[in-house]
Copies of this chain bind each other. A is one copy, B any other.
Amino acid sequence: MHIKIVGLHAPNAPRLRALLGPTHEVEALDAFPKDGPICADVVVSNSVSDYEAARIQCRLLQVPGAGWEQVACEALPGATAVCNVHGHEVPIAEFTIHALLEHFVQLWQYPAQLDAQAWAQAYANRAQHDEAYGKTLAIVGFGHIGQEIARRAKALGMHVVAVTRSGKPTAPALADEFAAVSELDAVLAHARALVLCCPLDENTRGLIGARQLALLPPQALLVNVARAEVVDEQALYEALRDHRLGRAVLDVWFQYPKKGQPPVPPSRWPLHALPNVRATPHISAMTPALLERRYSFMASNILRLHAGQPLRNVIRPPQ
């Protein structure tokens, strides 16, 4: 098989080569050629424009991640299958559970340096922290990520409410309640923590606005590992600044650095400078194990294509 790995993921060509063995050819390209046909058995890329898609001649376009919003699927030849790959649900769930426990266990209230004086004082007036146990956790979006968060939160003894478009119970063992997004107001009023892990689309853009934030209890925690725009930017800033929302852990942002452009802050509002915000640079899924899992999956999908076996994670079958 001849595989072209193109764009951001090109530096991972040696990893794919090692997994596929010497009988397959893995070619790394920083970018698609400016014109002419793009021929291979398999193209690995997470960004394909209309013009690039129209010139691609391959049997499989393997997206090296979960999101394919930057792939012009409709402009690809009908014979090309498109597949994606998951595996980020594990590190994102761990990031989220860490954020939840950090919020409830509140270790920041204890002295950072436990010298003799601090020890005597801290022990005499031992402060109390809170428990995740028994608290209600609302999870908006109940796909791979939401379900892995729920599995861990249930083991913590949390009351898990899964909010989905339809509210129909999917994976019923993992949540205590299922609610439709139309019932979100009632869910928010009881949620001590709200985790956003839904896709960004016309139904979820701005889903959490000033009114929704006001419904949450004032000590609540918001964790966003979805896309920043699921939340209204100004409303989020004002709720946190005025302590109408307890705390936020934000891994996704409203403004991203762009090559060759001057640096921008992650938000037009100084969200990242508030003491009750933990701002992380879109790293919740960034683990070596994620790459291992994803490249193993992609190599096995390429070998399935080679062997004439059905592909896995097909998001657009050949037409």
Asked if A299 CB lies within 8 Å of chain B CBs, one says: no
Q: Which of B110, B130, B263 lies in contact with A281, CB distance below 8 A?
A: B110
Shortest distance in angstroms between A97's beta carbon and chain B's nearest beta carbon?
6
Which residue of B is nearest A130, CB measured?
A: B287
Which A residues between 113 and 150 are near B, CB-CB below 8 angstroms?
113-120, 122-124, 126-134
Asked if A214 CB lies within 8 Å of chain B CBs, one says: no
B contact residues around A117 at 8 Å (CB): 263
Q: CA of A281 to CA of B117 in the docked complex: distance in angstroms? A: 12
Q: CA of A133 to CA of B95 in the docked complex: distance in angstroms? A: 12
Which residue of B is nearest A95, CB measured?
A: B105
Q: A90-B131, A94-B105 are in contact. Are A114 and B281 (CB under 8 A)?
A: yes
B contact residues around A113 at 8 Å (CB): 272-273, 279
In the assembled complex, 15 residue pairs joining A and B whose CB atoms fall closer than 8 Å, in A order, are A94-B131, A94-B156, A98-B101, A102-B102, A114-B279, A114-B281, A116-B264, A119-B257, A119-B266, A119-B281, A124-B257, A127-B283, A130-B287, A134-B289, A155-B155
The residues of A with any CB-CB pair to B shorter than 8 Å are: 90-91, 94-95, 97-98, 101-102, 104-105, 107, 110-111, 113-120, 122-124, 126-134, 151-152, 154-157, 253, 256-257, 263-266, 272-273, 278-283, 286-289
